[in-house]
Structure 1
Amino acid sequence: MQPVMIPVPAAARQPARWQALWRDALRDPVELLEGLGLPGLAARVSASAQAQFPLRVPRGYAARMRRGDANDPLLRQVLPLDDEDRLVPGFSLDAVGDGAAKGGTGVIHKYDGRALLIATGSCAIHCRYCFRRHFPYAEETAASGGWGSAVDYLRADPSIHEVILSGGDPLSLSTSKLAELTDALRALPQITRLRLHTRLPIVLPERIDAEFLDWIGALPWPTVMVVHANHAHEIDTAVREACGALRQRGVHLLNQAVLMRGVNDDADALVALSEALFASGVLPYYLHLLDRVRGTAHFEVPEAEALTLRDAIHARLPGYLVPRLVREIPGEPGKTAA
């Protein structure tokens, strides 16, 4: 297959601030499909899915898609198809129990010793399988009010020693906004570790700029970044360079992926993903069974098939390159091994 010929704007070909590339993201499914030579696939785009959870794709990410391939694994992750309109029993608006675990504003406190901050509702890319696609971000973002409510919650519970930034995507915030939080966290002696869950180093690697690297490299705690790649084709030279720069600043890099029908549900794809991650300095961490969120049933891989795939990649890779196959069950004290 030839690579996609979607025009990459001049801003992406020249040194540019990541915000400009963010603003120039593709938002029209027809434009995306025409650029891929797939205009006929527009008939399957769901107007209701697009209205509820609109397409958003950085042009650099779209450029990694294969022209003329309606089953491209990257395209499948972002295109709002009519499959999303099916109501399937067992698929709900809050599949992971976030609502029942709310702490302070924008704080999710499910697990002992650690709390997750919903830093923002913004993302550089809208993934169709997102388990928080129905989350009430307008009322629940930790960055609102200068992080005050979230930091107060952490201060009041000295058992919390790890802070996890999630979203949305925390790296969609400016570096100065992230620094507001970490400046406040320095005053909390119980905090010993910071973790960031982000897709931006994969979909918009330009976000890892000098300002960000200076900030993260100066943090006083061990810092873990869990990136999110589901397929080896997502990892290109720019992604590898971003990961390398993070590692040079002492950041520990892990990857979590979601097992999805038509994206990575074969052993060859999963092996290639682990190899590509390790070549970029990232360790495979989790392979999630799909969170059963409304609109995502067409991505689900049955657990029995998932277990067979896990065994197949275990036979082909050293143990440290085999991600843990897990699911999230509301109310459990951690991720549950499948």
Structure 2
Amino acid sequence: MFPQLDEIHTLVRKTAREFVEKRVEPNARRIDQGWYPKELLREMGELGLLAPHAPPEYGGPGLDFRSMVIVVEELAKASPALATVTEVQGSMIVYDLIHYASGELKEKWLEPAIRGEKIIAFALSEPCCGSDAFSLETTAERVGGSWVINGTKLWITSGLYADAFLVAARTGSPKEKHKTVTLFLVERGRCVETAPVAVMGVRGTGTAEVKFNNCEVGDEAIVGGLNGAFKVVLEDLNNGRTCVGAIGLGIAQGAIKEAESYTKRRVAFDMPIINFQVVQHYIASIKAQIEAVRGVVYTAAYFRDKNSELFPLYAQIAKYLGSRLAVDATRTAMQIMGGFGYSTDSKVEMLYRDAKATEIYEGANEIVLNTLFKLAEKYG
């Protein structure tokens, strides 16, 4: 049905959808109540769903970024939290290990990360610096033949349960901002302290504050070269923002499906409320938006696979429109369902809380719009 996709993507969606129906939907509420789905991540790894683009020589299925996006979309229909953990592990961490890690890091971490046997958190944001990420204060100082890392990270997905952390740290003068930031892979150990961060939505993602206290690593732990974090992080954010667009797309589909099903059962004024024109208009409007955003998200992923210079532009559009759709669709679904939609027994209530996060993480939408404005100016 979609010109950006091939037959292989139909098979990927079928596999992902079956996994969601059998394993994710029965556990979605458990995840929302704070259960970190490590066993589901391992099962996804075995099925090739955690990092579909990973090459066969490292235990991956050797597919493409479009497959990654489709998996995230299907997961988000049932559990945006699991979709979020997956997009960080697959589209960012595994991507970085494949393209920028040393041979030693690849040998130790890449295949376990692809298979879901090891979880690696992306540690960029800090109490001081979220949107202004490259004003970060975490430092890595050269001491003898090692690097000693100190600092605090915040809002770190999987932080509570990660086996290692990809840490952005200052390796030069703060005045040079993005030019003196380096990524290091730091294994969990006594030098790492974590504390849970309670969040409104996407619960069960192990969101944490993470402190690094004199963590010592060697040169082999550097990912992307000394002072090379800026390029890697930009690629990560573009990958992640495309996936957030897919998460928003999945949330919208999950919410409107739930609402439409409800309207066929709910009777008012002697008829199912699906017969009311206003309800039909609500549903039709969201479905139209879903199709529009689907085209943008798949196009962004297609441009990533084709190494097109238009990918960064479409990554911002996908994130912005996908996240807005998620919030609008869940709000509309809740309005259709009325009191039951507002109840904590409702799936839509959970999706509504989760939807808000998509406007904030992987770059607040205001920052995304800043970038989008510049890129739109460039490509006219």
* TM-score (normalised: structure 1): 0.34
Structure showing greater Rg: 2
